[in-house]
Chain A
Amino acid sequence: MPLTAALYPGQGTRDHAPAQAALRERLLSAVVSCFKRHGAAAIDTPVLELRETLVGKYGEGAKLIYELKDQGGELLALRYDLTVPFARYLAMNKITKMKRYHVAKVYRRDNPATTRGRYREFYQCDFDIAGQFDPMIPDAECLKIVHEILSDLQLGDFVIKVNDRRILNGVFDVCGVPESQFIPACCTIDKLDKIPWEEVRSEMVAEKGLSPEAADRIGEYVQLHAADSHRVTPISVPCLSFQASGEKLRTTETQVLVATPQKHLLAARMKLISELWDAGIKAEMLYKKDPKLLKQLQYCEDTGIPLAAIVGEQELADGVVKLRDVATRKEVDIPREKLIDEIRRRLEP
């Protein structure tokens, strides 16, 4: 049973600036840690697939596939989703059972008719359990996973909608849709989350050849559930929740800034920061030979670095380091050999 969640890049630029990248990292790590918690193994596939691999797999979606120019070799295209590559991977490796996750970007052209070939690149987080198992146990786990992730992301209340193609076929059957029209009707019904029922209905009757009576009967089922058509859009809400809590999203994880208040102390600064790095502490220093202390402290405040380790002439003579808590501005002299332990102690959550 497949489980996909699409994450759309932010509006505006197509690049992921550090703030967006940090946010994306937070989201993806919540998703991945859930997948890992459930014992899924990760795989990765190439962004390029042979055109023939993708042909015939996406029905009406086929015209949204990016193709590569024929440059004299194999005919290629960019992957449209992660499921067909997964099927190819299983077939190639003759695998019959697998629980895998795959977080990666997929590529779809926006409606080519209207926006003249505007391109889209976005993340999908696929979780699939392939194989024959005792019924519904894997399905139950998939539901649990959706619940864990959406809860973890703290988006607020949500509704999980569960479907099976066979239920839909049953609905069509009961509404008098002939079997031969199940698939076209399904493609149209899929659009319900993007366009209103009236348009969907007219497409089913006018384009797909359903009888108006059958369409109306389907409409009754649709109306039954129209109430909870609320759609969760994952990316925008976390941004709002950050601003609400006043949390400043950091773009680096630096823990200590190594600073020197007087001139000619570059070597001392480099020596100290080297010790911190070697101890695995995340540290930075300014790329200036003789930076002013104020500038260095300002840098801490701008980028959210919580501690500053200051060595001046006096401190060097005394064999200490002035450790400053950036938020409270409190400073205390720590003997050099105890510095790393003290930093670690302070950074412990």
Chain B
Amino acid sequence: RGLAMAEEAAVRAQAETVRRLKQDKADADEIAKEVAKLLEMKAQLGTDEGKHKFVLKTPKGTRDFGPKEMAIRERAFKAIISCFKRHGAEVIDTPVFELKETLTGKYGEDSKLIYDLKDQGGELLSLRYDLTVPFARYLAMNKITNIKRYHIAKVYRRDNPAMTRGRYREFYQCDFDIAGQFDPMIPDAECLKIVHEILSDLQLGDFVIKVNDRRILDGMFAVCGVPDSKFRTICSSVDKLDKVLWEEVRSEMVAEKGLSPEARIFSILEQRLEASEEKIRTTETQVLVASAQKKLLEERLRLISELWDAGIKAEMLYKKNPKLLNQLQYCEETGIPLVAIVGEQELKDGVVKLRIVATREEVRPVARWGWLCDPAAQPCRPCGVSSKFCSTPYSSSLPHAASWSPEVLLCPALGSFLSHHLLELLSSGAWSMQG
């Protein structure tokens, strides 16, 4: 990896050496020698500091998506993609760059907004400006005449910040296209249906769908006396009219800076989320594996491994001896609904304490679920191990958590049984998870 990281690692290693020597009360001369070495290494690193420092900025017009933004984005894309899939569209992807010549002459006045790659020997390339020209190229290259495809990806435009304050230069487009010759209007009808389904699904409120066809616009121009040769440029102007009007509307939306038409849906969702005070989760973790006392790291690792192997989303703290309170706090902060606690007594009894984080209730079984101790041992069906704790096979209709009674007793084949039941619990919807 990079020089910087290796050098920094070497400094850290040297610091560790010094620390150890001091701790072991080593020979004073030796300590002095190592300290001098450490200082020299640090000085060396210091002179390179300017080179390796991180410029804390993304390029103008681009942004990072942190976990919260990703969660919102995933919600929006899920609705959009599931609609596209529901309508039988195939997905394609194309490279982020195209040959410069592919994009030349396709965007009229907007051509100056295209990002070019530096000429580093080889083909001249540019970053894609939209997903439609790449789609056309794809069809032509592969001699495809009929296709229904969707393509969700980022596109790049060097918008002039003076004209369009804070407009994004890198943003997502979600293209859905039906290419080919078909009986008139059937594909068009489907496209309208899709727009309707998506906008409804996103619950943005009321909306208006505007339908256009270039030929209608051309007809209007013709009727108004515009010469054929000017159709294109007049069309670009008409397009701008829409944006300028939209600008006026947008300036009233004070809350969101840097809003661009293409990012509008995303920003609306962000604003709504803020207004609703809904806490959106940034992970999907279902269970935190916790320990109640010290020296239970291995047991925690063993249990979490079983959960992962059963496909359950689980986490644990990266601390050898974490405090229970901190572990519970972590659950509350990140929205994890369940915590599975291993403790010395529980290990002796062969059980795991399962707690619902929100209510702080402990999950307790009822007799009809057959968990209560029955000395007349019967095999536990899920794991097949006979035990004095399980007397009847587990029921697939789960009682509501609140109605459960006293003790948590599970069979000693702890992991698999627990996983089995956890899976049932989680899919029963007894605990609905946000996000």
Contact = CB atoms under 8 A, between A and B. Distances in A.
Interface of A: 13-18, 21-22, 24-25, 36-50, 52-53, 55-59, 66-71, 73-74, 76, 78, 83-84, 87-89, 91-93, 100, 105, 107, 109, 112, 116-119, 121, 129, 131, 133-134, 137-138, 140, 144, 148, 165-166, 169, 179, 182-183, 186, 251-254, 266, 270, 274, 277, 280-284, 287-289
Contacts of A254: 85, 88
15 contacts: A13-B142, A15-B141, A17-B92, A22-B90, A37-B308, A38-B308, A44-B69, A48-B62, A49-B59, A56-B4, A57-B4, A84-B2, A112-B120, A119-B122, A283-B87
B64 A43 contact: yes
A52 B55 contact: yes
A76 to B, nearest CB: 5
Interface SS of chain A: mixed
Interface of B: 1-7, 9-10, 13, 48, 51-52, 54-60, 62-67, 69-70, 73-74, 85-97, 115-123, 125, 127, 138, 141-142, 149, 154, 156, 158, 170, 178, 180, 182-183, 186-187, 189, 193, 197, 282-285, 297, 301, 305, 308, 311-315, 318-320
Contact of B319 (A22, A105, A133): A133
Residue picked from B3, B9, B149, most chain A C-beta under 10 Å: B3
A36 B122 contact: no
A70 B118 contact: yes
A251 B90 contact: yes
Contact of A46 (B1, B63, B74): B63
Contact of B315 (A39, A117, A118, A144): A39
Contact of B122 (A59, A100, A118, A182): A118
A50 B55 contact: yes
B283 A166 contact: no
A186 B57 CA distance: 31
A166 B149 CA distance: 50
A39 B285 contact: yes
A185 B193 CA distance: 62
Contact of A36 (B69, B158, B283): B283
Given A39-B314, A274-B193, A48 B3 contact: no
B186 A289 contact: yes
B88 A71 contact: no
B183 A166 contact: no
A14 B85 contact: no
B87 A112 contact: no
A121 B128 CA distance: 14
B60 A74 contact: yes
Contacts of B60: 73-74
Given A91-B56, A166-B13, A183-B6, A47 B186 contact: no
B86 A281 contact: yes
Contacts of A46: 58-59, 62-64, 170
Residue picked from B74, B118, B193, B197, most chain A C-beta under 10 Å: B118
B116 A71 contact: yes
A73 to B, nearest CB: 7
Nearest to A186: B6
Nearest to B160: A73
A215 to B, nearest CB: 20
Contacts of A137: 297, 318-320
B52 A57 contact: yes
A88 B48 CA distance: 17
A282 B89 CA distance: 10
Contact of B118 (A68, A129, A134): A68
Contacts of A68: 115-118, 127
A71 B65 contact: no
A87 B54 contact: yes
A277 B193 contact: yes
A109 B142 CA distance: 25
Given A13-B141, A88-B54, A137-B320, A37 B313 contact: yes
Contacts of A281: 86
Contacts of A43: 64-67, 70
Contact of B125 (A21, A49, A70, A119): A119
A134 to B, nearest CB: 4
Nearest to A287: B182
B87 A277 contact: yes
Given A39-B285, A46-B58, A148 B87 contact: no
The 3 closest A-B pairs by CB, nearest first: A117-B122, A133-B318, A287-B182
A52 B426 CA distance: 48
A107 B62 CA distance: 17
Given A44-B69, A69-B116, A270-B189, 9 more contacts: A15-B138, A46-B59, A55-B51, A92-B64, A137-B320, A254-B88, A277-B86, A277-B193, A282-B85
Contacts of B74: 42
A308 to B, nearest CB: 13
B90 A252 contact: yes
Contacts of A186: 6
Contacts of B312: 37
B123 A36 contact: no
A190 B154 CA distance: 33
A21 B182 CA distance: 26
A58 B51 CA distance: 12
Given A37-B313, A41-B67, A55-B51, A144 B305 contact: yes
